[in-house]
Structure 1
Amino acid sequence: MPRYIGIAVLLFLPMPILIVVLSSFTSAGYLSFPIKGLSLRWYAEFLGSADWLRVLGTSALLALIGAVVSTGACFAAAWAVVRHKIRFGATYETILLAPLIFPHAAIGVIMIVTLSSLGWLGTFSGLVLVHCILTIPYAYRPVAAALRKSDAALEEAAASLGARPWRTFWMVTLPAVRPGLVTSLLFTFIISFDEVTVTLFLVGPFVMTLPVQVFSEVLESASPIIAAVSAALVLFTSAMVFILDRVIGIQFFVERD
């Protein structure tokens, strides 16, 4: 019986995604399932809309900057904690993981006050700052785990053979932690790209993200273009994970003593 329950759960999990994808091909002017006829009308409307493409570009750029910045910052933090064994390293790690503890709605309210005092509320720079904060926990764990698994003796050996610090880093350290960096970049990009709860508090008339736009469209109408956008995002995310896994390699780390 447990085996059949497990199979049923595994079959049920992708059902919402499958329904959304199928609904995006409907020829009706509203969301419905089962679909009423087949049509690519809503994909053409999505790709032909300047407004949708603009918010798509904004979300992609925001996620890319957030992923690079948070991964770079977390690599420096992990280097200090793991390699240099700084004091209160465990406390430092707990602080970095703090965004996982607080409700996103509370973070949104706090960020309204913070960004207002900085004059960044409703700006792209404000969203970059907030998304970096939100993605730091997801960036830190794989990078720190990769550093812990890499052999520090290799770096010491390279230095003893006369390699300069930058060359040791480029030729020894970076290849050893590359899977962790790739995992960090991938996780943070996807999380930032899909983030809606906190971003909903912070968008303005001149900056809008794709998830918030989808959320607004759901509240205002039931157009199948929402399903088309969602299906395109699922395809994009799946393709990105597959390509990175094949070309570079993605490792999901579990730290062990």
Structure 2
Amino acid sequence: MSRAGPRRAGPVLRAAAACGFLLLLAPLVVVVVVSFSAGAFLAFPPPGLSLRWYAALLANGDMLAALGTSAVLAAMVAALSLALGFPAAYAIVRLNFPGRRLLAGLLVAPLLLPTLVLGLAVLLALQPLGLTATWPGLLIAHLTLAVPFAVRILATAIGAVPAELEAAARTLGASPLRVALRITVPLAAPGALAAAALAFLVSFDETVLSLFLVGPRLTTLPVELFRYAERRTDPLVAALSVLLVLIALAVVLLVERAAGLTKTLSRE
């Protein structure tokens, strides 16, 4: 008995999908066009085309310093999210202990709170410790958002590893640590890479939490962009937005090529 292949989308569904894509991409197209404007103010359509605002962006020391801060901070958040998230995800998926469901719920709890409430709570917790406007304070704040995402993806990746392989390794005399390092970690590596990429992007793009914790000498790129947009309305904002979109796209394409991000996330 032959199985019927997947049904092809009809013209109505295709038209609806095309309209949806256009609706989602239209703002991005406008931002890209405005970023090449030759005018002195945000306007669409632009009065002319020029690269002047990309040159102005490269000459803006505050923006470049904030970009470096955000990149380093996001890389640290990605590494620590893996270091903290992998043991937690393994415990949730593979171990059976009292409070396992409670632990899983607590790890997801930061995602259920409004970011404004979470930012205020982090500020009240870190201010008595003198960690506001410091690297450790920003790192802790961003980890509160990045770790739950990492745990979710890592739990899916670890759950996809056949438990029989781990059991077979243990029956052959391998220690639990050796099983984890030689069996679980290599097979879950694509999921770990996807979790690191998502943690990087979450940290790199985070604005609300950073607004509560930055200072005059330490700021992130989204906060600097927010402050710049409050003072001025020139197309440099659009040029920086295009740069941020390209960075996010580059990270996603790199992970997709290296580990198959779509397949990893579709297992959930």
Q: Is the 8 A contact 1:31 1:224 kept in 2?
A: yes
Question: 2:50 corresponds to which letter in structure 1?
Answer: S
Q: Percent identical across equivalent pairs?
A: 38
1:176 aligns with 2:187: yes
Question: 1:122 corresponds to which letter in structure 2?
Answer: A
Distance 1:239 1:67 in 2: 16
CA-CA distance at 1:164 after TM superposition? 5.2
1:57: which partner in 2? 68
2:47: which partner in 1? 36
1:85 aligns with 2:96: yes
The answer to which of 71-80 and 165-174 deviates more is 165-174
TM-score (norm 2): 0.89
CA-CA distance at 1:89 after TM superposition? 1.2
Q: Is the 8 A contact 1:96 1:137 kept in 2?
A: yes
1:158: which partner in 2? 169
Question: Unpaired segments of 5 or more residues in structure 2?
Answer: 1-11
The structure 1 segments of at least 4 consecutive aligned residues displaced by more than 4 Å after TM superposition are 162-167
Question: 1:145 corresponds to which letter in structure 2?
Answer: T
Alignment of 1:140-159 (within 5 A): 140-159=151-170
TM-score (norm 1): 0.93
Number of matched pairs? 255
1:239 aligns with 2:229: no
Question: Unpaired segments of 5 or more residues in structure 1?
Answer: none
Q: Is the 8 A contact 1:67 1:189 kept in 2?
A: yes
Q: Is the 8 A contact 1:145 1:253 kept in 2?
A: no
Distance 2:192 2:49 in 1: 42
Q: Is the 8 A contact 1:123 1:206 kept in 2?
A: no
CA-CA distance at 1:172 after TM superposition? 1.6
CA-CA distance at 1:168 after TM superposition? 3.2
1:192 aligns with 2:219: no
1:49-85 Cα offsets, whole Å, 9 max, x none, are 2221110010011111112112221111111121222
Distance 2:266 2:158 in 1: 11
From 63, 69, 79, the equivalent of 2:80 is: 69
CA-CA distance at 1:253 after TM superposition? 4.1
Q: Is the 8 A contact 2:194 2:255 kept in 1?
A: no
CA-CA distance at 1:32 after TM superposition? 1.2
Secondary structure at the residue paired with 1:39?
coil
2:265: which partner in 1? 252
1:132 aligns with 2:178: no
Distance 1:226 1:88 in 2: 47
CA RMSD of aligned residues (A): 1.7
